[in-house]
Amino acid sequence: MARILGPKHHLCRKMGTKLCSYKKCPAQKRPYRPGQHGPLGTPRLTGYGQQLLEKQKAKWLYGMMEKQFRTYVERARKSKKETGMVLQKMLESRLDNVVFRLGYATSRAQARQWVNHGHFLINGKKVDIPSYQVCDGDRITLHPHVQKTALAQQIEAQSKDAHLPSWLTYDREKREAKVIGDPVVAEGEQVFNAQMIVEFYSR
């Protein structure tokens, strides 16, 4: 599968917002385009340009290519509920994103790699597909072949400082995470406008 390569912070500054998980992302202090003309200001975008920008933010945030992302939008449009809300729910329900939200990984890219390597179990069964959709009630645990390794200690240390969203819980004694509801994106965490993305694909 194709990957999004290149400097991550360059994308953050190009989009004008923090898309990475690095605490000292340069886009926080310099939220303008890189290069000598960046500080002069961001060019005014047309309606189409703004919609395209929001789509690119979502794609790069979750690490997906165009074909896969379009599939998510088409599936969301078939729902009877609000398309933008369904799209956000589907993106947040990805297993690699859940692993990242739990604090197991420092980035979604790292979470995707660990899922690919089969380090996690869903309800006792190994799942190595990053796009797997978790559901309410699913239990997420480490694979037995990982539990006694240095990687398990690293994951445990990273998860201690994680700020869990309201729809996830973690039992440290059992080393088990659980999905307790539908994914909810807090107001301050909304990096992109889902409705604009839906409008982009409706043109």
Torsion of CA 147, 148, 154, 157, to 10 degrees: 80
Confidence of residue 1 (pLDDT cuts 50, 70, 90): very low
Q: How far is CA 26 from CA 20, 22, 93, 191, in A?
A: 10, 9, 28, 16
| Separation between Cα atoms, residue 139 and residue 181, nearest integer Å | 12
| Separation between Cα atoms, residue 41 and residue 97, nearest integer Å | 33
Contact 177, 169 (CB under 8 A): yes
Tokens describing residue 202? 């409706």
Nearest to 3 by CA among 51, 70, 71, 68: 68
- Exposed/middle/buried for residue 193 (C-beta within 10 Å: 0-12, 13-18, 19+): middle
pLDDT tens-digit profile of 66-114? 999 999 999 999 998 999 999 999 999 999 999 999 989 888 988 999 9
pLDDT computed for residue 42 by the predictor: 66
**Range in 13-17, 69-73, 147-151, 163-167 the model is least confident about:** 13-17
pLDDT computed for residue 40 by the predictor: 67
SS3 call for 77: helix
| Residue extents of the structural domains in the chain | 8-35+45-91+190-201, 94-179
Give, as one character, the DSSP assignment of residue 131: T
| Separation between Cα atoms, residue 156 and residue 192, nearest integer Å | 30
Q: Could you please report the per-residue DSSP string of 26-56?
A: GGGT--S-SSTTGGG-PPPPPHHHHHHHHHH
CATH H-level, domain 94-179: superfamily: RNA-binding S4 domain (3.10.290.10)
Strand pairing class (176-179; 168-171) = antiparallel
pLDDT tens-digit profile of 119-147? 999 999 999 999 999 999 999 999 998 88
- Topology (CATH level 3) of domain 8-35+45-91+190-201: Ribosomal Protein S4 Delta 41; Chain A, domain 1 (1.10.1050)
Strand pairing class (168-171; 120-122) = unpaired
pLDDT computed for residue 142 by the predictor: 92
> For the chain, how big is the Rg over CA atoms in Å?
18
Contact 102, 168 (CB under 8 A): yes
**Range in 55-59, 69-73, 176-180, 183-187 the model is least confident about:** 183-187
pLDDT tens-digit profile of 26-40? 777 777 777 766 666
